Amino acid sequence: MPQHIKRLVSAFAVVIILFLVMQQVLTPASFGKLGHYRADAIPENEMKTLHYAGSAVCTNCHEEMQTDKALGFHAQLQCEACHGPGLKHALYADKFKDKELPDSLKLHKPDQRKDCALCHEINAARIKIVFDTINNTMIHQVNTLKHNPVNKRTNEKVICIDCHNPHQP
Amino acid sequence: MTQTRSKVTRRNFFKAGSIIVGGIAVASALTPFDGVLFATERPKGKGEWYGIGIDINKCIGCGKCANACKLENNVPKDPFYFRSWVEQYTIKNDGTILVESPNGGIDGFKQSVPDADIFKSFFVPKMCNHCAKSPCVQVCPVGATFETPEGIVLVDENYCIGCRYCVQACPYGCRFINPEKGTAEKCTLCIHRLEKGKNPACFEMCPTEARIYGDLNDPDSKINYFLKNHTCMVIKPNLNTGSKLFYNALSPEVR
């Protein structure tokens, strides 16, 4: 074999060996176990913290709300849909039974007109039948700007829950 | 100047050419493109393989799903980072299509077109389609995005180099770059909730049960019931992405 070919071959061999060594060192352990990705990424994704508890947890303490709600049109509405994520509240609120809850554990109280308007504001795309477990009803729609914005006697601003019970509308 | 003639004779050229063209024609005739929904095609492995069903007839556009997704997954609050969002399509009488999604629907929708001008209007909730032949998975240069054996397309945050290729590749616009981490982010079908036996946040919070999910491999699952009882369609079926997000009552205007 000519000298220059020998040099080339040895140079290539060094590069290839270096590549193989680097590949061994740099490739994560679980890469390629299940496919062209790091299999450990699945448990890493599963480790993320939860924020929503699910309504089954709410009824452990707030059973009376559940029974109230079951009679109304909001029966299949999840508690956390309006009150916000409540896993922290569910886990730690028990410790403050007689004391005031700290703000971080308090849940959202949706008492503004815009909160009800999310579902009930009049909209052409919203005229549809919602298959309610109790009745097949149309979703109730109101024009929140025109529907009794002020109390006619006292001239004060009125919010929806002054007249409507949100748990049993 | 001398012209070098190719050694391939004209006869051989046509022979080889016709064999290749004929071969392709025969192959495509044997396995033609079919418009059958991907759900009918089972994966090779066994076990759970998730699919999603969204009923447009039931969606009231409250945006609770988009809101729940942001809160559950710590998605940046800015109005252009969404893993799940709702769009309002309004088809006007003059034939123009208006698509609106103010803050992804989280703050509610305001009807911007008077009733008299509307031919038809509806809400379309959108999220990752968890495609079985994902374009985003195929383009990733480092293998940082992948489909789990359960059929969920995930991002490996620690391996992603933030090259934005997948953001470009997703035909449904379901990915973004997290401004803090600099890595790609997308819907995980709340795999952290599924693993603990809870429903993903957007499914849990939907007040009208407009969205459901289930195991496509299980013939008695919710999603198979949904597919059998509704006329379902995926968005952009022509792209053959193997989308596993099936819409009932999907209008062809949606894209």
Kindly state the DSSP code that residue A34 receives in the 8-state scheme. S
A95 with A38, same domain: the answer is: yes
* pLDDT per residue as tens digits for the range B115-148: 999 999 999 999 999 998 899 999 999 999 999 9
- Asked if residue A166 is part of any domain, the answer here is yes
* Best to test chain A binding among B44, B48, B62 (most A CBs inside 10 Å): B62
| Residue that terminates a domain, selected from A80, A108, A136 | A108
- Asked if residue A64 is part of any domain, the answer here is yes
Angle at A128 between CA A123 and CA A131, to 5 degrees: 135
A53 with A104, same domain: the answer is: yes
A42 with A96, same domain: the answer is: yes
A125 to B201: CB separation less than 8 angstroms, yes or no = no
Cβ atoms of B191 and B22 closer than 8 Å: no
Q: Which of A100-109, B11-20, B64-73 has the lowest mean pLDDT?
A: A100-109
A90 with A143, same domain: the answer is: no
Would you state the pLDDT for residue B29?
85
- Asked if residue A24 is part of any domain, the answer here is no
Low-confidence ranges of chain A (pLDDT < 70): 127-138
Q: Say whether pLDDT at B34 is over 70.
A: no
Q: Say whether pLDDT at B40 is over 80.
A: no
A36 to B68: CB separation less than 8 angstroms, yes or no = no
Domain count, chain A: 2
Which one is predicted more confidently, A59 or B34?
A59
Asked if A36 has any chain B CB less than 8 Å from its own CB, the reply is yes
Q: Determine the structural domain holding residue A118 and report its residue range.
A: 110-169
Q: Reduced to 3 states, what is the DSSP secondary structure of residue B121?
A: strand
Instruction: Tell me what percent of the residues of chain B surpass a pLDDT of 70.
Output: 94
A90 with A43, same domain: the answer is: yes
Distance CA(B216)–CA(B228), nearest Å, equals 12
Which of A83-87, B14-18, B36-40, B217-221 has the highest mean predicted lDDT (pLDDT)?
B14-18
- Asked if residue A15 is part of any domain, the answer here is no
Instruction: Tell me what percent of the residues of chain A surpass a pLDDT of 70.
Output: 93
Asked if A110 has any chain B CB less than 8 Å from its own CB, the reply is no
Q: Tell me, what's the ipTM? A: 0.84
Q: Say whether pLDDT at B1 is over 60.
A: no
B172 to chain A, closest Cα gap in Å: 22
- Asked if residue A90 is part of any domain, the answer here is yes
Would you state the pLDDT for residue B25?
92
Would you state the pLDDT for residue B33?
61
| Residue that terminates a domain, selected from A77, A108, A139 | A108
B160 phi and psi angles, rounded to 5 deg: -65, 135
Give the helix ranges, DSSP H, for chain B: 10-30, 64-73, 135-139, 165-169, 191-194, 201-205, 222-229
Measured between beta carbons, the chain A residues lying within 8 angstroms of B207 are 76-78, 81, 119
Q: Say whether pLDDT at B41 is over 70.
A: no
- Asked if residue A81 is part of any domain, the answer here is yes
Of A48, A119, A128, the CB nearest to B57: A128
A2 to chain B, closest Cα gap in Å: 33
- The overall average pLDDT reported for chain A is 86
Interface contacts A/B by beta carbons within 8 Å: 131
A129 with A116, same domain: the answer is: yes
* pLDDT per residue as tens digits for the range B172-226: 999 999 999 999 999 999 999 999 999 999 999 998 889 999 998 888 899 989 9
Cβ atoms of A53 and A90 closer than 8 Å: yes
| Residue that terminates a domain, selected from A87, A108, A129 | A108
Would you state the pLDDT for residue A134?
47
- Asked if residue A18 is part of any domain, the answer here is no
From the options 1.10.357.10, 3.40.190.10, 3.30.70.20, 3.40.50.720, give the CATH code of B42-134+168-248.
3.30.70.20
Measured between beta carbons, the chain B residues lying within 8 angstroms of A44 are 156-158
- Asked if residue A3 is part of any domain, the answer here is no
